[in-house]
Structure 1
Amino acid sequence: MISPLSTRIRLTGAGVLAAAALALPGCASFQDATASMSTLGGLITPYRIDILQGNVVVREQVQALQPGMSREQVRNILGTPLVASAFHADRWDYVFTLRRQGQEPQQRRVSVFFDGPLLQRVEADELPTEEEFVASLDTRRRLGRAPALEASEAQLRAFHERYNTGAAAASDPPAPAVPPGTSYPPLEPR
């Protein structure tokens, strides 16, 4: 004879299993809902760090490679390879990935092939120039062109005339010199 308590436990267990089975397909939408609530409806997004992996190789570096270069010359131009396999001793792989919040991930690959000690050929994805790569890193709003960091002779003369820097330096009294023979105590006890 089956007791009413064991029947109740079996029905409760079956109910829990059925509820779990029904809830599993909704987990993804539940996670989306909790993520949306934790960011105040998507108005605030949590900060995620940039993830940079591998070697940055730009178009100018690959263009500097010439067949017949030694491994050392290639290493001086591209840096140490990310992958240098013992099974593929005549192949170096340079892999680069960059993941930033709010941007599509960047991924590039350059493979360098050697014939013995000398460079044979290079296979590479479409690479940006150095200027394009640096521009892709700067996500801030640009406020205009950067000022020139050098001054012409005329600009330097105008600056000296305006602020009278040459005359002020000549009219300043010289710093007092330390009289000869002044002795100071030793820095450490003897």
Structure 2
Amino acid sequence: MPVLLRSRLRSAPLLALVLAAGAALSGCGSLDGASNRLSGLVTPYKPEVVQGNFVSKEQVEALQPGMSRLQVRDVLGTPLLASLFHADRWDYVFTLRRQGVAPQSYKLVLFFKGDELERFEGDTMPSETEFVARVDTGRKPGKVPVLEASEEALAKFPPARDTGKDAPAAEAPLPASYPPLEPSAR
């Protein structure tokens, strides 16, 4: 084979690789324009996000001035914000973010005098059913199946046979001694 033909055969894969890379990079510009045209048709999925401590209307109604911090924590849970600089103040904040709806933010502030709840103030909290309805939109409630078998339904199945497997298995005897936990001193 002539030398010129051999050198061209060696550079052919390199030339093909360069041309393929150029074609791929030129396609990136056209894909960007295509994605802009499709943005009105296809929207990315944005998950519903609940951040913070959910506090229901029922929980707020259970609060009474004079309750201890431990009792308040039992009713509301651990506060989202407990500052060292404001030791007598607990903040409960939560936000609900859903696609197509403005973020909903709720705040409840509790003030203590020593170990006792003095007062609390904040937004009107949703009840538990209202909150679940806000989060669980779009789902159609399905019919709940009956989970109880009647005598007629059980009669369709043959009775269980006693195979002797119900007897407790014999346990293996424990070893007389166990290996040491640490290696012996040398």
The TM-score normalised by the length of structure 1 is 0.62
Of the candidates 53, 56, 62, which is equivalent to residue 55 of structure 1? 53
Name structure 1 gaps, 5 residues minimum: 1-33, 185-190
Tell me if 1:160 matches 2:158.
no
How much identity, in percent, do the aligned residues show? 48
Give the C-alpha shift of residue 65 in structure 1. 0.8
State whether residues 36 and 42 of structure 1, in contact with CA within 8 Å, keep that contact through their aligned partners in structure 2.
no
**Higher helix proportion:** 1
Of the candidates 124, 127, 135, which is equivalent to residue 126 of structure 1? 124
Distance 1:149 1:65, change over 3 A: farther
State whether residues 90 and 114 of structure 1, in contact with CA within 8 Å, keep that contact through their aligned partners in structure 2.
yes
Tell me if 1:147 matches 2:144.
yes
- Find runs of 4+ consecutive structure 1 residues off by over 4 angstroms: 34-37, 148-151, 177-184
Distance 1:39 1:59, change over 3 A: farther
Of the candidates 64, 67, 70, which is equivalent to residue 65 of structure 2? 67
State whether residues 79 and 90 of structure 2, in contact with CA within 8 Å, keep that contact through their aligned partners in structure 1.
yes
C-alpha separation between the residues in 2 aligned to 1:180 and 1:119? 56
Distance 1:39 1:106, change over 3 A: farther
Give the C-alpha shift of residue 182 in structure 1. 8.6
C-alpha separation between the residues in 2 aligned to 1:97 and 1:106? 6
C-alpha separation between the residues in 1 aligned to 2:168 and 2:144? 48
Of the candidates 111, 114, 119, which is equivalent to residue 113 of structure 1? 111
C-alpha separation between the residues in 1 aligned to 2:168 and 2:39? 76
Q: Indicate the SS of the match to 2:94.
A: strand
Mean Cα deviation higher: 47-56 or 114-123: 47-56
State whether residues 93 and 112 of structure 1, in contact with CA within 8 Å, keep that contact through their aligned partners in structure 2.
yes
Give the C-alpha shift of residue 168 in structure 1. 3.2
1:52-88 superposed Cα distances (whole Å, 9 cap, x missing partner): 3210101011111111100011111111111112222
State whether residues 50 and 100 of structure 1, in contact with CA within 8 Å, keep that contact through their aligned partners in structure 2.
yes
The TM-score normalised by the length of structure 2 is 0.63
Give the C-alpha shift of residue 103 in structure 1. 2.4
C-alpha separation between the residues in 1 aligned to 2:168 and 2:114? 69
Distance 1:104 1:87, change over 3 A: same
